[in-house]
Structures are given as structure tokens and as C-alpha cells.
């Protein structure tokens, strides 16, 4: 797998060089901010964009959500964060032509490994964290970290989360490059309680995201006293801890699709929203996206949820029941019992399997009681669902509102 990919990457490299030439090395004409990490990329990228824009800066962005070039927003495609090298260079050139002085580029490990952002001159960048993900592609965690660390070598300056497990691994790959650290432990170079500064309670993982965005913007010359007011007006991107319904019970949609992200999302939701009710977790795992994370995701769900419905999440051509059975192993390790669909809903520490995601959401809504919180993870903002290798229109928020409207 890796040998074949290395051969393909030679072609990607050639294409990237051509793209730079065709679009006349546009990144030299503005300041480019790179954001990578397993979790938190989109929130951090969009927060940086928001801070710069609210401070009167002309800024463009490519993120998981979309590409915003000037005032024009466009979709980057199904399940795509960083587009092809030609698209990246085209977007940056369009941003330059529009008059943007800053460009925020959310960057995946695939994009770094495949040279999709080769030739982009990153003025400053950040690695938010590196947790278990994409090992189907990278093979090992070490290679995953190595791919992410390319951003350090292609940047003038990089901020790294010192509290994250990846820090010691990153140090092996930085060579002579200097980095600056941030965090709340371990004597990081930058330890700032952003939550206190803006007087807004933030989930632990978002404290890291906000701190990363703060450091980037300060590095770009935005004064601290101008950053904090911008943070107060920032709204999380769609599908990030998004409350899509609030009535007798609450429904929250989140993009969490790794063990770390599931843990962060569910723990935050339980602390903030669950008082007398139950936390009902509806989720699955995507096919061909590192199946070793499935059982750990089940463990994290069992730690924070009272009831779980396992369902589809882009199963592509894999048997969805194979996927849910692997997740179920983690649930059962923590004492969860599988029950039939018809009897599911009255107890706790129970799970059931409903492959059809719409039916799974309908079931969760039908059993929800006063004070309950339903959490849908895995899809977030996405507008499609892959079944049998075909993309179908789908959005969790849309489905929830449609189901509750018809109820």
C-alpha cells in the first residue's frame, strides 16, 4: 500500500509543481496560514478567518466547510478538506486577484503526504493534535505524524500543542526547524486561559482551538485587545456541537468521528447539557477510514452515553453490520447490553443497531423524554451519505428537523 502510494506521490509532486507555475506562485503575494491536526482543524481555521475579517483584514479560506474567496463561497466537494494542488493554487490566485492579504488553509495529512500544498509558502501554521485516524492510509501512527510534520518544514513558524500525545513524536521529525508550543500543562511556551479572557465558558478541547487561533492572529500582528472581542462574536461552524433542536429534549449534531473527538464531544455535552435526563448517542463509523478506531469509539461512547444506537456512516461498499459489530465490542467491554429495537428505550447501558440512519434518528427521537439529550456524531456539516459506493444527499440537521416536524 505505502510503496504504491509513494509511486503515486511522484505524480502528485509533478502536478503540484506545474500548478505553482501555471498560477504563478500565488502564495508569495499574501500571508498563508496553515492549520492541520486530527481534530479541531475546522473550528480553529474558521476562528482565525473570523478574527482577521472582523478586524478589517481581507482574508480568504479553504476549510472542510467550504472555500470562501472574498465574498464568494463555494463547495469543495464530497468528503474533501484540502482539494487538489491545482484547485489549491487556483483558489489562492483568485484570493490574490480579489485583494486578500491573508489565506487560511485547512490542511489534511493526505494533502501533505500527496504534495497537494507543495509550493505554498506558509507564513505561520499550527498542529492542533494528532490522534488515531487515517491509519488505513498511513499504515502507522509514526508515518501519520511524519506527514503532518511536513507542515513545519514548509512554514516560517509553527505552533504545536505540547499537551497532546503527538508532541514527543513530532520532535523526531522537525530537524533544525524551531517550533513554539502552547497548552495548559508541561511548561508550554504559551499558557493562556482564553475562556477567562473572553468570559465565555469553553469546552476543554475548544480552549485549545481558541488558544491556537489567538497565537496565530497575534503572530500576524493583530493586537490582543482586538482579538478577544472578535472571539466573543464567533459562532462554531455548522455541525460542531450544534444544537439543532431544543424542546422537551435537545438534539445536538457534531462531526466527531475519532475516539478522541467522541470523548471530547460527549464529555462536554454531558457536563453542559445533561442534568436529570439521559444522553442518547447515535453514531457509526465510515468504511475504509482506519477500522482500528471503531472499538475505541465504542469505549468512549459507553463511558459517557446512557443509551446508544449504532447506525451507518458512509459504509461505502463495506458491510455496515461488520462496522457496527466492531464498535459494539467497545460498548460491551463497558457493560452495555444489546437489545432488540422494539424493546430499546426504557433502560440504560443498552444499545441497539439500526443501520438506516434516518430510522435510527427517528427511534432516538421517539424514545426521548423530558431532559434527554440526543447526540448525533460522525456527519456534522456534511451534505451526503455514501451507501454502496454512491453518494446520496444527506444532512443530519435537515433530517432531525424534518422528523420532528412530521412527528
User: pLDDT tens digits, the chain, 407 residues: what are they?
Assistant: 567 788 888 889 999 999 999 999 999 999 999 999 999 999 999 999 999 999 999 999 999 899 999 999 988 765 656 789 999 999 999 999 999 999 999 999 999 999 999 999 999 999 999 987 766 677 789 999 999 999 999 999 999 999 999 999 999 999 999 999 999 987 999 999 999 999 988 999 999 999 999 999 999 999 999 999 999 999 999 999 999 999 999 999 999 999 999 999 999 999 999 999 999 999 999 998 789 999 999 999 999 999 999 999 999 999 999 999 999 999 999 999 999 999 999 989 999 999 999 999 999 999 999 999 999 999 999 999 999 999 999 999 999 999 999 76
Residues 365, 245, 394, 325, CA torsion sign: negative
Extents of the domains making up the chain? 2-232, 242-406
CATH of 2-232, one of 3.30.450.40, 3.40.1190.10, 3.10.150.10, 3.40.640.10: 3.40.1190.10
- The reported pLDDT for the residue numbered 211 is 98
- The reported pLDDT for the residue numbered 2 is 66
Protein fold of 242-406: 3.90.190
- The reported pLDDT for the residue numbered 321 is 98
- The reported pLDDT for the residue numbered 290 is 82
Q: What are phi and psi of 142, to 5 degrees?
A: -60, -45
Are the beta carbons of 357 and 394 closer than 8 angstroms? yes
173 burial via Cβ count (<10 Å: 0-12, 13-18, 19+): middle
* Residue position matching grid coordinates 504534495: 115
CA distances from 96 to 31, 117, 136, 189 (A): 10, 17, 36, 33
How far is the C-alpha of 243 from the C-alpha of 236, rounded, in Å?
Answer: 11
How far is the C-alpha of 182 from the C-alpha of 208, rounded, in Å?
Answer: 8
- Could you read off the pLDDT of 214-244 as tens digits, one per residue? 999 999 999 999 999 999 999 999 999 999 9
**Within this chain, domains 2-232 and 242-406 share the same CATH topology:** no
- The reported pLDDT for the residue numbered 1 is 54
- Could you read off the pLDDT of 358-396 as tens digits, one per residue? 999 999 999 999 999 999 999 999 999 999 999 999 999
Are the beta carbons of 83 and 17 closer than 8 angstroms? no
- The reported pLDDT for the residue numbered 286 is 96
- The reported pLDDT for the residue numbered 80 is 59
Longest dimension (CA), the chain: 63
- The reported pLDDT for the residue numbered 137 is 76
Q: Which has the closest alpha carbon to 399: 384, 163, 388, 390?
A: 384
- The reported pLDDT for the residue numbered 134 is 67
How far is the C-alpha of 275 from the C-alpha of 252, rounded, in Å?
Answer: 15
How far is the C-alpha of 177 from the C-alpha of 158, rounded, in Å?
Answer: 9
Amino acid at each position: 500500500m505505502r510503496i504504491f502510494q509513494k509511486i503515486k506521490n511522484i505524480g502528485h509532486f509533478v502536478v503540484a509543481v506545474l500548478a505553482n507555475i501555471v498560477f504563478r506562485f500565488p502564495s508569495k503575494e499574501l500571508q498563508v496560514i496553515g492549520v492541520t491536526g486530527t481534530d479541531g482543524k475546522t473550528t480553529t481555521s474558521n476562528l482565525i478567518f473570523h478574527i482577521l475579517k472582523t478586524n478589517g483584514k481581507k482574508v480568504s479560506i479553504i476549510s472542510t466547510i467550504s472555500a470562501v474567496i472574498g465574498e464568494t463561497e463555494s463547495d469543495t466537494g464530497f468528503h474533501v478538506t484540502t482539494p487538489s494542488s491545482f484547485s489549491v493554487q487556483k483558489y489562492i490566485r483568485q484570493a490574490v486577484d480579489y485583494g486578500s492579504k491573508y489565506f487560511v488553509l485547512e490542511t489534511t495529512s493526505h494533502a501533505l503526504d500527496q504534495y497537494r500544498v507543495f509550493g505554498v509558502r506558509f507564513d505561520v501554521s499550527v498542529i492542533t493534535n494528532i490522534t488515531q485516524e487515517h491509519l488505513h492510509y498511513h499504515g502507522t501512527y509514526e508515518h501519520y505524524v511524519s506527514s503532518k510534520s511536513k507542515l513545519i518544514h514548509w512554514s516560517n513558524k509553527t505552533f504545536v500543542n505540547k499537551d497532546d500525545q503527538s508532541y514527543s513524536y513530532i520532535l523526531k521529525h522537525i530537524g533544525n526547524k524551531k517550533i513554539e508550543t502552547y497548552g495548559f500543562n508541561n511548561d508550554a511556551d504559551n499558557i493562556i486561559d482564553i475562556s477567562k479572557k473572553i468570559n465565555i465558558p469553553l469546552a476543554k478541547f475548544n480552549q485549545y482551538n481558541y488558544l491556537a487561533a489567538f497565537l496565530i492572529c497575534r503572530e500576524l500582528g493583530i493586537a490582543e485587545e482586538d482579538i478577544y472581542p472578535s472571539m466573543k462574536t464567533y459562532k462554531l461552524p455548522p455541525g460542531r456541537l450544534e444544537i439543532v433542536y431544543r424542546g422537551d429534549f435537545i438534539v445536538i449534531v457534531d462531526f466527531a468521528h475519532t475516539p478522541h473527538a467522541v470523548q471530547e464531544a460527549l464529555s462536554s455535552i454531558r457536563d453542559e447539557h445533561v442534568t436529570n435526563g439521559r444522553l442518547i448517542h447515535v453514531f457509526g463509523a465510515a468504511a475504509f477510514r482506519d477500522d482500528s478506531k471503531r472499538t475505541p469509539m465504542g469505549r468512549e461512547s459507553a463511558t459517557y452515553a446512557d443509551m446508544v444506537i449504532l447506525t451507518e456512516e458512509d459504509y461505502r461498499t463495506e458491510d455496515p453490520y461488520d462496522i457496527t459489530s466492531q464498535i459494539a465490542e467497545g460498548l460491551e467491554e463497558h457493560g452495555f447490553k444489546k437489545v432488540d429495537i422494539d424493546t430499546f428505550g426504557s433502560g440504560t447501558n443498552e444499545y441497539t443497531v439500526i443501520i438506516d440512519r434516518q430510522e435510527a434518528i427517528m427511534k432516538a427521537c421517539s424514545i426521548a423524554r423530558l431532559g434527554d439529550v440526543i447526540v448525533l456524531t460522525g456527519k456534522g456539516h456534511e451534505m451526503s451519505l455514501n451507501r454502496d459506493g454512491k453518494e446520496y444527499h444527506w444532512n443530519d440537521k435537515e433530517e432531525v428537523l424534518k422528523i420532528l416536524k412530521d412527528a
